[in-house]
């Protein structure tokens, strides 16, 4: 695996670290391919029951590497179709990951970097972090799911403002807006993210995957369709060992132990 993205598996938690701190973890083609490979590896490994996505150094991710992008433009390659080739598969890999993904936002998240954080299931932010959509500042449209996730997190009115104006939102405001779930002091970010991910990794993995599917489905469907999807997912969860064991534990007034299957 490329050094531009690090991968660690400890106690059922895979930590994926964007590792180009000298360029604020901005995304080259190589880094995007490595990120997708890391996400696919976590998805396929049954030993992984929760994922953390974070950045090395002072940034979470500054989005597209604008040096590489500038070279592409100068060479007449335009956008290089990177949105379809890289960003869309990455965002789908996070959304379709059959286990929870926690963003640990250690610093600025800009452009597609902010989109990546918002694609995750839970977002823990350092009090030193900030968020900017950044796209219009360089004359681009939102990508990597930003037009979809942002309005769902903060509502149309604020999403339009953030996308049109691109102002930088500090962590405290991000919490107020519902962009993130939790803000912690910078030096407590890593332990807080690990604690949350370990809690999720000790939980009913199939049930968590069903929560993700149900939320995604319901956000674009009518009520009858959402009800049917819930029934389908409940059928799936009812067959798991975790559901049977947890029901028995409840009736015996014991704490359940979840095996993730």
- Determine if 62 is a binding residue for ligand T3D (CB under 6 A): yes
- Residue 222's contacts (CB-CB under 8 Å, 6 or more residues apart) are none
Q: Which tokens in the block code for residue 131?
A: 């968020």
Site string for ligand T3D, 202-241 (x = CB under 6 A): ----------------------------------------
Give whichever of 54 and 240 is closer to ligand T3D, judged by the CB atom.
54
Instruction: For the CB of residue 224, give the shortest distance to ligand T3D in the complex, in Å.
Output: 37
Instruction: For the CB of residue 64, give the shortest distance to ligand T3D in the complex, in Å.
Output: 4
Residue 141: which region, alpha, beta or left (left: phi > 0; alpha: psi -120 to 50)? beta
Give the CB-side neighbour count of residue 257, counting CA atoms within 13 A: 1
Q: Which of 16, 24, 38, 174 binds ligand T3D (CB under 6 A)?
A: 24
Cα 13 vs. chain centroid, distance in angstroms? 14
- Determine if 82 is a binding residue for ligand T3D (CB under 6 A): yes
Q: Which tokens in the block code for residue 50?
A: 């929760």
- What three-state secondary structure class fits 244? helix
**H/E stretch holding 38:** helix 29-44
Of 79-87, 146-154, 200-208, 236-244, which part binds ligand T3D (CB under 6 A)? 79-87
Residues 84-123 that bind ligand T3D (CB under 6 A): 108, 110-112
- Residue 72's contacts (CB-CB under 8 Å, 6 or more residues apart) are 78, 79, 80
- Determine if 25 is a binding residue for ligand T3D (CB under 6 A): no
Give whichever of 23 and 184 is closer to ligand T3D, judged by the CB atom.
23
- Determine if 66 is a binding residue for ligand T3D (CB under 6 A): yes
Helices marked H in 52-204: 66-74, 82, 88-95, 112-119, 146-154, 156-165, 171-177, 189-201
- Determine if 52 is a binding residue for ligand T3D (CB under 6 A): no
Give whichever of 50 and 150 is closer to ligand T3D, judged by the CB atom.
150
- Binding footprint of ligand T3D on the chain (CB under 6 A): 23-24, 26, 62-67, 69, 79-80, 82-83, 108, 110-112, 132, 134-135, 137-138, 140, 143
């Amino acid at each position: 695996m490329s050094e531009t993205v690090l991968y660690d598996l400890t106690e059922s938690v895979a930590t994926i670290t964007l590792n180009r701190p000298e360029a604020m973890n901005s995304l080259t083609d190589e880094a995007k391919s490595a990120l997708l490979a890391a996400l696919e590896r976590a998805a396929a490994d049954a030993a992984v029951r929760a994922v953390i996505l974070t950045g090395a150094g002072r940034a979470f991710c500054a989005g597209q590497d604008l040096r590489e992008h500038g070279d592409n433009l100068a060479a007449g390659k335009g956008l290089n179709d990177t949105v379809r080739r890289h960003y869309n598969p990455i965002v789908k890999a996070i959304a379709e990951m059959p286990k929870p993904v926690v963003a640990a936002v250690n610093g600025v998240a800009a452009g597609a970097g902010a989109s990546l954080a918002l694609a995750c299931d839970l977002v823990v932010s350092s009090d030193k972090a900030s968020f900017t959509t950044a796209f219009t500042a360089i004359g681009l449209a939102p990508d990597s799911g930003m037009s979809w996730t942002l309005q769902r997190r903060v509502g149309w009115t604020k999403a339009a403002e953030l996308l049109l104006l691109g102002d930088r939102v500090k962590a405290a405001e991000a919490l107020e807006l519902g962009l993130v779930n939790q803000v912690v002091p910078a030096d407590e970010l890593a332990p807080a993210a690990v604690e949350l991910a370990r809690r999720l990794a000790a939980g009913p993995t199939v049930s968590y995957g069903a929560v993700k599917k149900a939320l995604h489905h319901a956000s674009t469907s009518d009520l009858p369709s959402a009800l049917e999807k819930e029934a389908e997912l409940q059928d799936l969860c009812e067959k798991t060992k975790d559901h049977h064991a947890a029901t028995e534990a409840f009736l015996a007034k014991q704490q359940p132990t979840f095996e993730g299957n």
